[in-house]
Structure 1
Amino acid sequence: MQFAYDLVVIGFGKGGKTLAAAATKLGKRVALIEKSKEMYGGTCINVGCIPSKTLLHLATHKKGASGYKEAIEAKNKMVAFLRQKNYEALLDAKVQVIDGTASFKDSHTLMLYHNDSCQEISAHHIVINTGSIPTTPKVPIHSNKVYDSTSLMQLTTLPTHLVVIGGGYIGLEFASMFNLFGRTSNKHTTKVSVLVRGHQFLPKEDPIFSQSIHQSLSQKGVQILNNATLNAIEDDCVHYTQDKQAKTLKADAILLATGRVPNTASLQLERAGIQLGAQQEVLTNEFLVANPHNEGNIYAIGDAKGGAMLTTYASLDDYRIVYDHLFGAKKRTIHNRNVFPEVLYIETPYSHVGLRAHEVKDRAYCTHNLKTAAIPGAMVLEDTTGLLQVLVEEHTECILGASLHCPLSYEYINLFSLAMNQNLSFSTLKDMVYTHPSMMESLNTL
């Protein structure tokens, strides 16, 4: 059967765009479908990691309403630049970028809708790279002051009170960001409150780190309300229950950060023999094939396949698996990939890789702790918040996991990832000669 394309990618995210460009270098006919010109380059560049982390950085030196407005303008300028560069990169790679919304007709055919037109395109292989979308709490919401993580970054006026619904990574990152923008030398121009549904703050983390992060945010002025269940949002009022008592907060901006789900609802996946999981994620095998029991020609990568959301580096590794399965030795799978570090981007960032102490089962290990305040490099950076912890298996000296609540932890954690991937002993890191002063030299002590 003759197909119009060897490969079609639905969505402009990191893994998909990288796969599309790599396939054209092999002489393949490749198209990439994106429903919005405003999303060229994918979620990370336009509405995810890059703009949010840029704003967090700018908040360290741009303060108050005027500083916030300048930061939003700088962020928008940078996003527009990167969006255009990503588009040009695919054109240079001879990838055909098609505007429109896609859905399946069958396992090799897509229906493409753009404006009032509809066309069919066919491909030998298809990659679903449609990302994720925010979820909305199932409570009454009647307000024009409610935002998600995308729309809040378009707000040009610094709110006087931001209420964040959700105490996960996205919610806490925005809480820290707006707290920073509104925290001047002599007062808080922005109040930030975070409603955490459960009684435990950051329950996935070891208590020593959830407590350290809670203390750091609280000392900087972020109000964290545990065991708070949202009941309704009406105009500027957030109605919730805490410890069986009905309460209300007034806010001029309300962020819904209650999770994300794969963006698969409109794809008509059943027509291609593709099954979905409980969270509407595309079910795949170890090679990320979405229809392995049929023709095995459709793949799902990034947020569309479920798992950790908004992790660009996970999407990039998904590309490596699919590329190897399509064009390589078919050896890379989800079971032999490298460890994934995680980062909570707050004013003093928290980063983790591997196992946490409460996750270690039936393995003898040592715990090595060091307070950030003991590191000269942290004193130079004027941030001695937090602590560092490494879990080391006793008889092998292999690193089981590392957790870092300290300045530059998002850079520092990659050293532990490298050591774990290469099976380096903890002594190898401990006995290295590091630059001084630096954060990494703390390994000599840790």
Structure 2
Amino acid sequence: MPTSPATTSHVDVLIIGFGKAGKTLAGLMASAGKRVALVEQDAAMFGGTCINIGCVPTKTLLHDAEVGTPYPAAIERKNGLRAKMNAANLAMVEKPGAMVIVAHAEFVGERRVRLSAGEECFDMTADQVIIGTGSTPTIPAITGVKPDPRILTSTDLIVTPSLPPRLAILGAGYIALELANMYAHFGSEVTVYNRRSTILAAEDEKTRDAVATVLADSGVTFLHDTEIERVDLPHDQAAALTIHAGGSARVADALLIATGRSPNIDGLGLDAAGVEVADGAIRVDDFLRTSAEGVWAVGDVNGGPQHTYISFDDHRIVVDQILRGKGESGRSLANRGPIPSTTFITPPLSRVGLTAAEARARADEEGWDVAVATKDVADIAAMPRPKAVGDPRGFMQFVVDKTSGQILGATLFHVDSQEVINLVSMAMKHKIPYTELRDAIYTHPSSSEGINEVLKMADA
């Protein structure tokens, strides 16, 4: 069971935040003989955002949406899985001997943290303090938007027990589109309000158009170049809300605000610790050291890519410093390598490295002979798996430098792309020529074998 804040006054390592990096570090440090305290202010968040309100719950719901599970049953299954994983994560940390303390943590000096739980308050010092407090949804200032059951963040939406018949979404980034896709599959009438002229601004035109087409076919309506000016919320919370945007008014049963996430730094007392902040995030060097001696920042709170697996990789960087004493030769942000990502729509969109446009823009400077190999899944003869499971939509695209043979980037929009992209990312990190992937033997039927056919196009 979690420990009372007043159990001890000094530890070797104090970790603030029970997320992916924090829990992994707590277990490793305790197993190495360190006296470790892991502080989390909300017991419902043992294990972090990913298993409780992020990756795992949303992908559980997405699966059920795709196979036609009724929404209430999907919510029940998701809640059961979350509860099991929450408990398992607590056990995983406590088994090697780390203390878990449920309390709010605030720095009151250099490596001195005040822990508060109800009326109980206690100061704890540590040789090393690791901050891993994650991030929370950003809520823009919009007239009429206030705390209300009909105004939702992603956290709120996935615990809503009843399916909103009409769901409005503010935002057209990755999280917004994942949830638009999911709730459209559950049966909601989904409208996306996008202040830009297109979705997914970081992607190339082919990708944006393909994703927009797939989502539109699923029933998602896009309103581009549209700012929400005002939201009217009737006093009766069971009544629909009215959204005023672009000179017209539309009604919806719920408004999801999905306009990004911000690092959780409020209330940490960072000034007292001498920890500097830049652009709303804790400033760190390549080894995740903050401006304060013996204080580290991992995961979303340091302003890096907001992915659970980045938080996990952050723990490796800190371990190399605290446990292995590798210093400048240790793992770092500088030697991390390419970072793959997946947007879990249907089918999933995965990417790593540069887009074709980005590669061409740098070609002269880098001395690259850029070749782009692109083919729609429906036209890839040696890729039967998407067709076998009934979803031959999407495409494969690889960007290569023919001079060195290196893969510069890939965009995969197809069934199983979340798995195939990891193979491409590893090849890029280890500088394996594209010809090796082109000529590799893949299982059949699989989505990976499409690589054989598409990469042949780079030879032309």
Normalised-by-shorter TM-score class: over 0.9
> Aligned residue for 2:190?
192
The code of the aligned residue for 2:256 comes to: L
Given the alignment, which residue of 213, 231, 240 partners 1:233? 231
- Percent identical pairs in the alignment equals 36
Equivalents in 2 of 1:73, 1:3: separation in Å? 41
SS at match of 1:209: helix
Given the alignment, which residue of 413, 430, 440 partners 2:448? 440
Given the alignment, which residue of 309, 313, 334 partners 1:317? 313
Equivalents in 2 of 1:440, 1:40: separation in Å? 36
The answer on 1:10 being equivalent to 2:10 is no
SS at match of 1:440: coil
> Aligned residue for 2:294?
297
What per-residue deviation string (whole Å, max 9, x for no partner) do you get for residues 389-413 of structure 1? 0001010110000000101111110
Deviation >4 Å, runs of 4+: none
Equivalents in 2 of 1:156, 1:101: separation in Å? 29
> Aligned residue for 2:421?
413
1:219 to partner: Cα distance = 1.3
Equivalents in 2 of 1:436, 1:307: separation in Å? 37
Within-5 A mapping of 1:236-315:
236-242=240-246, 246-278=247-279, 280-291=280-291, 294=292, 296-309=293-306, 311-315=307-311
Equivalents in 2 of 1:234, 1:336: separation in Å? 50
Equivalents in 2 of 1:367, 1:3: separation in Å? 59
The answer on 1:92 being equivalent to 2:89 is no
> Aligned residue for 1:206?
204
- Check whether the contact 1:284–1:300 (CA below 8 A) recurs between aligned residues: yes
Given the alignment, which residue of 366, 370, 380 partners 1:365? 370
> Aligned residue for 1:349?
348
1:352 to partner: Cα distance = 0.1
Between stretches 228-237 and 257-266, larger displacement belongs to: 228-237
The code of the aligned residue for 1:226 comes to: H
> Aligned residue for 1:37?
43
Equivalents in 2 of 1:240, 1:262: separation in Å? 30
1:62 to partner: Cα distance = 3.0
CA-atom RMSD, angstroms? 1.3
- Check whether the contact 1:162–1:255 (CA below 8 A) recurs between aligned residues: yes
1:381 to partner: Cα distance = 1.6
1:238 to partner: Cα distance = 4.2
1:144 to partner: Cα distance = 3.3
Equivalent residues, number? 427
1:148 to partner: Cα distance = 0.6
The code of the aligned residue for 1:288 comes to: L
> Aligned residue for 2:236?
none
Equivalents in 2 of 1:345, 1:174: separation in Å? 9
Given the alignment, which residue of 209, 214, 217 partners 2:215? 217
Equivalents in 2 of 1:4, 1:274: separation in Å? 20
Given the alignment, which residue of 114, 117, 122 partners 1:119? 122
- Check whether the contact 1:62–1:71 (CA below 8 A) recurs between aligned residues: no
1:347 to partner: Cα distance = 1.4
1:327 to partner: Cα distance = 1.7
Equivalents in 2 of 1:238, 1:387: separation in Å? 38
SS at match of 2:337: coil
The code of the aligned residue for 1:40 comes to: F
1:3 to partner: Cα distance = 6.9
- Check whether the contact 2:281–2:302 (CA below 8 A) recurs between aligned residues: yes
The code of the aligned residue for 2:161 comes to: T
What per-residue deviation string (whole Å, max 9, x for no partner) do you get for residues 198-217 of structure 1? 11221100111011000110
Change (3 A) 1:105 1:208: same
What per-residue deviation string (whole Å, max 9, x for no partner) do you get for residues 290-325 of structure 1? 12xx5x20000000001222x110001100001101
> Aligned residue for 2:154?
149
SS at match of 1:60: helix
What per-residue deviation string (whole Å, max 9, x for no partner) do you get for residues 54-102 of structure 1? 1001111234xxx100000000000000000000111101000000000
Give the TM-score, by structure 1 length: 0.94
The answer on 1:168 being equivalent to 2:173 is yes
> Aligned residue for 1:103?
106
Given the alignment, which residue of 323, 328, 331 partners 1:327? 323
The answer on 1:377 being equivalent to 2:385 is yes
Given the alignment, which residue of 72, 82, 86 partners 1:83? 86
The code of the aligned residue for 2:282 comes to: V
- Check whether the contact 2:71–2:186 (CA below 8 A) recurs between aligned residues: yes
- Check whether the contact 1:30–1:95 (CA below 8 A) recurs between aligned residues: yes
Equivalents in 1 of 2:316, 2:289: separation in Å? 13
The code of the aligned residue for 1:39 comes to: M
What per-residue deviation string (whole Å, max 9, x for no partner) do you get for residues 238-292 of structure 1? 43433xxx122211111110111000011010111111112x200011110112x
Equivalents in 1 of 2:304, 2:315: separation in Å? 15
Change (3 A) 1:405 1:28: same
- Check whether the contact 2:150–2:241 (CA below 8 A) recurs between aligned residues: no
Equivalents in 2 of 1:274, 1:206: separation in Å? 38
Between stretches 140-149 and 38-47, larger displacement belongs to: 140-149
The code of the aligned residue for 2:285 comes to: N
Equivalents in 2 of 1:441, 1:252: separation in Å? 44
Equivalents in 2 of 1:4, 1:119: separation in Å? 11
Give the TM-score, by structure 2 length: 0.91
> Which sections of structure 1, spanning at least 5 residues, go unmatched?
183-189
Given the alignment, which residue of 5, 28, 37 partners 2:34? 28
